[in-house]
Amino acid sequence: MGLGALTDGLAPTPPMGWNSWNHFGPFVSDQLVRETADALIESGMRDAGYRYVVVDDAWEGSVRSDDGNLEPNLWRFPNMHGLASYLHARELSYGLYTCAGDRTCQGYPGSRSREFVDARRFASWDVDFMKIDWCHSGGLDARTAYETWSEAIRATRRPMVLSICEWGRNRPWRWAGSVGHLWRTSGDIADRWDSVMDILDRQAALAEFAGPDHWNDPDMLEVGNGGMTDAEYRAHFSLWAILAAPLFAGNDIRTMSDATRAILIAPEVIAVDQDRLGRQGQRVSRERDVEVWVRELDGGARAVVLLNRGESAARAEVTWDLLGGSRADTALVRDLWERQDIGPRREGYDRTVAPHSAAMLRATRDNSARA
């Protein structure tokens, strides 16, 4: 845990929800958000834990109002508070974006030197989650700027999750734990396998900085956006879960396939992500294209991802010494995607993993076998 990390109970497990950016880019509207909210409920995603509905960039009008406030684009968002009420009535929460710099990444008015006014504005709309971006921030010190945001939010007296989005430029894991609830650790994800692998590698050294109320954020999910196979999306989702990453679906919930839905609501994979101990998983072995990632869970079991990054099928093996026990242990192994027990295994477990795929397991030390 980072020094003085937040413990305000607003994000005891990694926040989950939906964010408009990855699929819709700047094409956001009140209607899209309402339809997405309905689809989150209909699909079972809300009940699986996806609670924050986050409107990213391009909700803004092109200028501030005469009294200096941020205004929505009124054609697209005629009633911000009404939209919040729509979400709250459905047990969803409302997330909204702005930027720490002069302008947002899409060129709308930014919040530089208006942090207190804008946080108050967001609070007046009953916003629950603020994503603060970093475009056009020349001359600002990241830590100081986000500390100002944290104070501005506190001054509103409305609890709002603070999502820091400076793309990992200023090593936020070293300071952001006492400032915000989640912080991006990389540039923007793309809907491609190499992007997922690239971001994954950037997380390997960051596990010690994450914990309840303060999470590393490897960016929003691309599951269901069409650029990867379902096996690749399952691997992406497995990895984000073992990393204790915030899970923000970034696809069109209204039209997603059954296969996409099955990935996004996989209960035993989500349970790993949301494990209350809040330990981020780590890479414990890497041999050519095959990696083993392990996460300690509440109660002592371990979640395991066997990842094959390569272009051909490969044998992947986890031995129980890699889980912190002894190689001679016996563990009960369960497949978290198949939701099936594999059974007790001595020393370890191995399986063939298809190219660009992952298996996800839970291993629980079998005390009866040791007696």
Strands 52-55 and 282-287: unpaired
221 lies in the binding site for ligand GLA (CB under 6 A): no
Q: Output 101 or 211, the one with its CB closest to ligand GLA.
A: 101
Q: Which 8-state DSSP code applies to residue 58?
A: S
Number of H helices and E strands in the chain, helices first, is 11, 16
What phi, psi does 344 have (nearest 5°)? -75, 140
| Of the residues 60, 71, 133, 252, which one makes contact with ligand GLA according to CB under 6 A | 133
- Name which of residues 283 to 322 contact ligand GLA (CB under 6 A): none
Strands 302-308 and 290-296: antiparallel
Q: Whole-number minimum distance, CB 345 to ligand GLA, in Å?
A: 41
What is the distance between the alpha carbons of residues 136 and 91, in angstroms, rounded to a whole number?
Answer: 35
Choice among 30, 128, 133, 273 that is catalytic: 133
Q: Whole-number minimum distance, CB 27 to ligand GLA, in Å?
A: 12
Task: Please give the structure tokens belonging to residue 64.
Answer: 């501030």
Q: Whole-number minimum distance, CB 170 to ligand GLA, in Å?
A: 14
Q: Whole-number minimum distance, CB 220 to ligand GLA, in Å?
A: 7
Q: Whole-number minimum distance, CB 195 to ligand GLA, in Å?
A: 13
105 lies in the binding site for ligand GLA (CB under 6 A): yes
Cα of 68 vs its chain's centroid, Å = 33
Residues 6+ apart with CB under 8 A from 2: 173, 174, 175, 176, 177, 178, 209, 214
248 lies in the binding site for ligand GLA (CB under 6 A): no
Q: Output 97 or 233, the one with its CB closest to ligand GLA.
A: 97
198 lies in the binding site for ligand GLA (CB under 6 A): no
21 lies in the binding site for ligand GLA (CB under 6 A): yes
Give the count of residues interacting with ligand GLA (CB under 6 A).
10
Pattern 136-175, ligand GLA, x by CB under 6 A: -----------------------------x-x--------
**Which residues does residue 319 pair with via DSSP β-bridges, in sequence order?**
348
Q: Is 133 known to be catalytic?
A: yes
The single residue listed with the structure tokens 């008015």 is: 109
129 lies in the binding site for ligand GLA (CB under 6 A): no
Q: Output 133 or 222, the one with its CB closest to ligand GLA.
A: 133
Three-state SS string across 225-252, please?
Answer: CCCCCHHHHHHHHHHHHHCCCCEEECCC
Distant-in-sequence contacts of 337-345, Cβ < 8 A, 24+ apart: 337/234, 337/238, 337/266, 337/268, 337/269, 339/267, 339/268, 344/369
Query: E-strand spans in 288-339?
Result: 290-296, 302-308, 314-319, 330-335
56 lies in the binding site for ligand GLA (CB under 6 A): yes
366 lies in the binding site for ligand GLA (CB under 6 A): no
| Of the residues 106, 124, 285, 319, which one makes contact with ligand GLA according to CB under 6 A | 106
Q: Is 194 known to be catalytic?
A: no
Q: Whole-number minimum distance, CB 99 to ligand GLA, in Å?
A: 8
Task: Please give the structure tokens belonging to residue 310.
Answer: 């390569």
Q: Output 24 or 349, the one with its CB closest to ligand GLA.
A: 24
What is the distance between the alpha carbons of residues 87 and 89, in angstroms, rounded to a whole number?
Answer: 5
| Of the residues 17, 43, 53, 57, which one makes contact with ligand GLA according to CB under 6 A | 57
222 lies in the binding site for ligand GLA (CB under 6 A): no
| Of the residues 35, 38, 147, 188, which one makes contact with ligand GLA according to CB under 6 A | 188
Q: Whole-number minimum distance, CB 187 to ligand GLA, in Å?
A: 7
**Among 218, 228, 237, residue whose Cα is nearest residue 45:** 237
Choice among 102, 188, 198, 321 that is catalytic: 188
Task: Please give the structure tokens belonging to residue 191.
Answer: 């809907």
Under the rule (CB under 6 A), what is the footprint of ligand GLA?
21, 56-57, 97, 105-106, 133, 165, 167, 188
**Residues noted as catalytic:** 133, 188
